[in-house]
Amino acid sequence: MNPPATRNRLIGLGLAAFIAAIDQAVKWLVIGPLALREVRHIDLLPFFDLTYTENRGVSLGMLQATNMEMRWLLVLLTAGIALVVFVWMMRERKLGDIAALALILGGAIGNIVDRWDLGYVIDYADFHIGTFRPFLIFNIADAAITIGVVIILARSLLVREKDDNGEKARPLEAGETEQ
């Protein structure tokens, strides 16, 4: 077993647990002490409000769970995706890749807990510029998932492994084949 890779994976598991815990703690604060479910909207800053929404779908509100069967299907679907991300994270060695996958996993777990317990995901973060809202209302789990995906994409495009000669690998040119 590779000790640095094992350490990196443990860091990833800790980060995923931290993201899921923070997500759930903030959601508890929003619906508990802040009573956002009842008041629906709290103005905080000129560019940020808390606005309570119940997202019964997945990304961008797609696949709305309009009945119990669809709710549990979404729980199973998102849990399956989270399992794939977990397995992928356990196969990685580099901390950057593991951290990105941990963000995705932690966010997925946070939203799965909501969907399991409530039948929907609680969203509350509302960024805006006047009446223009560049983002849908979201939560910490959504932000973690998005940041994790962006990191994975950036690392896959910008960070290259070294080849067998110790030189930085480069993308293949058009028509060029790997040897």
Residue 173: pLDDT band (50, 70, 90) is low
Please give the backbone phi and psi of residue 127, each rounded to the nearest 5 degrees, phi first.
-85, 140
Q: Which residue has the higher pLDDT, 132 or 19?
A: 19
Residues 96-143: pLDDT tens digits?
A: 999 999 999 999 999 999 999 999 999 999 999 988 888 889 999 999
Burial degree of 1 (CB within 10 A; 0-12, 13-18, 19+): exposed
Q: How far is it, in rounded angstroms, from Cα 16 to Cα 39?
A: 31
For residues 4 and 96, the answer to whether their CB atoms sit within 8 Å is no
How many Cβ atoms from other residues are within 10 Å of residue 93's Cβ?
12
Closest to 155 (Cα-Cα) out of 103, 90, 77, 84: 103
Query: What is the three-state SS of the chain?
Result: CCHHHHHHHHHHHHHHHHHHHHHHHHHHHHHCCCCHHHHCEEEEECCEEEEEEEECCCHHHCCCCCCHHHHHHHHHHHHHHHHHHHHHHHHCCCHHHHHHHHHHHHHHHHHHHHHHHHCCEEEEEEECECCECCCCCECHHHHHHHHHHHHHHHHHHHCCCECCCCCECCCCCCCCCCC
Residue 58: pLDDT band (50, 70, 90) is confident
Q: Which residue has the higher pLDDT, 171 or 20?
A: 20
Q: Which residue has the higher pLDDT, 57 or 94?
A: 94
Provide the pLDDT for residue 118: 94
Provide the annotated active-site residues: 123, 142
How many Cβ atoms from other residues are within 10 Å of residue 78's Cβ?
18
Please give the backbone phi and psi of residue 54, each rounded to the nearest 5 degrees, phi first.
-110, 110
| Average confidence (pLDDT) over 138-151 | 97
Please give the backbone phi and psi of residue 158, each rounded to the nearest 5 degrees, phi first.
-110, -25
164: pLDDT strictly greater than 70 = no
